[in-house]
Amino acid sequence: MYSNCVKAGPERAPHRSLFYAMGYTPEELKKPLIAVVNAHNEIIPGHYHLDFIAYSVKRGILEEGGTPVEFPVIGICDGIAMNHTGMKYPLASRELICDSIEAMMIAHGFDGMVLIGNCDKIVPAMLMAAARLNVPAVYVSGGPMLAGWHKGKVTDLISGPFEGVGAYAAGKISLEELERLELDACPGCGSCAGLFTANSMNCIAEVLGLALPGNGTVPAVTGRRLQLANLAGHQAVKMWRKNVRPRDILTLDAFENAIAVDMAIGGSTNTVLHLMAIAHEARIPLSLDTFDRVSRQVPNLCKLSPAGKHHLEDLHKAGGIPAVLNRLAQLGVLHLDALTVGEKSIGEIAEEGRVLDSDVIRPVEDPYLKEGGIAVLRGNLAPDGAVVKQSAVAPSMMRHEGPARVFDSEDEAFRAITGGQIRPGDVVLIRYEGPKGGPGMREMLSPTAALAGMGLDDKVALITDGRFSGGTRGASIGHVSPEAMEGGPICAVRDGDMISIDIPARRLELKISDSELQGRLASWKQPPIKATNGYYLHRYARLVSSASKGAVMT
């Protein structure tokens, strides 16, 4: 046992004494020490109930012959941090969470861990830590929130109050209606009900092999969620006994499987950032080209909110991720031998999967789209790539050319949108919001939701070196690389320049001559970092890599 470094032998008498001070017994110290890494807090609805999840995990560890030891990690609610300075922190917190798990695990000599998270950056941070530390590990989420109900219709955080802000600004609804929406949208605990970033990553964790089937779709409020947590505790001890480690599971095949499912279900564009970051920690080469190659091979089989009317509870009732795997196995696009912590291969899980609702999970011969949910665009505006959730783009906006409306921050753009300054046909361009420029690569949910609420999501495109929430819909192109802060071409765009978007052809072009573009870039001067020296974000801005490489700190 690795934990013997803190508990075995005469020289560890002081260490054991400290354990005994907390009530641990000599018998418990003879067993493997399994960390229960719990992101519970009272500020994120997806994490508010994780203390109950942790209780079930610890029971499972005890029943399987391990000793559970719980410690906390931080978490930020993207929804509450949205559209103000706080949104600079969520992506940057991913590295903090991963680093803090590393510090706690190594300092205390744990033999394995169960990671309990649920929301946007906490999930990838935990999977990154599993890959980095390479000790036996199982991830379990707190589960998705149930959808809300407003005036006889299903709603959620995005289609309700976020888009309601735009509808109110456009005079389409009253303030009283907006207040009613905010009361109805989120009925209880869990990660927000649509296929936004948190639920995308929780589903992907199943396919990567570090979480058990059902992890992404079993609702937060069910007894089945607690049973799943208990089973995760059992499996962590079993993985320790068999010495099965995360990097045995996180192979290139596993990442390609995860990307295939991501494309099939139409996950958040943030999954590109996070899968590349996890692959970096697992020492697996992964590039944007892989995402686009898989996207061209895998049809989009699901349209969950924000792209469609269904929510995670509907995907669960339709058979969940095993049912999606069953569909994809028919196409021959999966690596069926890939391992999982459930001791079944992806092929075995796919074989057991059953589609119970073909409207939620379409047949492969009748998909929502012939290509996957995410497309990677390139061109003189994004030489290193940009990403778009094409499954949430209106057909009329798959190809678009219009004049740029240029803003150097999200705040300026949001004021212009809600102030009625954006016209049909415009291309809203928001720059200096990338990993370095933000710093922190803010999500642009408020601008895109406002456009949707105003009825402009099928008439206006939005391009940024920042990123988008998984709840964004419309022709929203993010992760433009190189970013403006690094002197990428996006820094040279001027108001009125024509921009051409061709998603089927994977092109993003600024319609000026090469000589004009080079002249503008030659005269550009890098602005100062938009963060106070000594603060975490200032250090982050100096160390973070490009979005095209996962925005990892180097």
* Catalytically annotated residues: 469
* Cβ 434 vs Cβ 353: under 8 Å: no
Spatial separation of the C-alpha atoms in residues 11 and 3, rounded to whole Å: 14
Spatial separation of the C-alpha atoms in residues 404 and 462, rounded to whole Å: 9
How open is the CA angle 467-291-456, to the nearest 5 degrees? 40
Percent helix, strand and coil across the chain, each to the nearest 5: 45, 15, 40
Distances (CA, A) of 310 to 150, 353, 363, 377: 15, 20, 16, 27
Tokens describing residue 108: 């205390």
Token pair 């319609």: residue: 511
Burial of 171 (C-beta count, 10 Å sphere; 0-12/13-18/19+): exposed
The maximal CA–CA distance of the chain, rounded, in angstroms, is 76
Distances (CA, A) of 434 to 42, 52, 291, 394, 410: 29, 37, 20, 26, 11
Burial of 411 (C-beta count, 10 Å sphere; 0-12/13-18/19+): middle
* Cβ 189 vs Cβ 210: under 8 Å: no
End-to-end CA distance of the chain: 32
* Cβ 225 vs Cβ 143: under 8 Å: yes
Distances (CA, A) of 348 to 317, 334, 336, 363, 446: 20, 12, 8, 20, 42
